[in-house]
Amino acid sequence: MDSLNRHEDYGQEALDETHLGANPIEQFKLWLREAEAAEIFEPNAFVLGTIDAAGQPTSRTVLLKGLDEDGFFFATNYLSRKGSALETNRKVSAVFGWYSMYRQVLIEGIAHQVAGQESDDYFTSRPHESQVAAWSSHQSAPIENRAALDAQFDAALAKFEGADVPRPDYWGGYRIVPTRIEFWKGRSNRMHDRIVFERTINASGICGEWIIGRIQP
């Protein structure tokens, strides 16, 4: 495990407050496009952190499937481990790591289930077999072996052969409304740049203005 003793130099390319726009959502879009141009594998993948009813934090990788001024959209099974956690605690974190570019974006916010029509629209856009998978997998539930999982998928595939696949009522989208977005840029000697945007959300769900600042590495 040579990586445990490795000390990479992340270079001297700076990230200054003046390099970023006033709107962190637009800045994120720019970094995402640059990650795509750099051919980062799955640049829209992020680590979603949740907290369940027992206070246990859990994390997993999911894919960003929508982005606008309201927040970051992803979809999942509502009955999964993360869905169950979001039922009791909607506070989440999200980490996008574009490490070959020495970049990372850390997001904190509140996850809201989106309206049924928005979930329908996204579900319809998915490939047929991905739609079938939403019916065949009881996400996060135990199963005997891979053969049993494949049998479930094959049965669902046969059921929907040649037919449109409706969205299951236990599957749909969430939007993370961000309250904090940190742009991280690796620098030499571990003196990294960390620029943070923060805002408040009142009881009505209305967001305040973004405030930008720098924090120490």
Residue 190 is among the residues annotated as catalytic for this protein: yes
pTM of the model: 0.93
Reported as a single tens digit per residue, the pLDDT across 144-158 is 999 999 999 999 999
Reported as a single tens digit per residue, the pLDDT across 31-52 is 999 999 999 999 999 999 999 9
**Angle subtended by helix axes 128-136 and 146-159, to nearest 10:** 120
**Which residue out of 167, 175, 187, 190 is catalytically annotated?**
190
Burial (CB count <10 Å: 0-12, 13-18, 19+), residue 173? buried
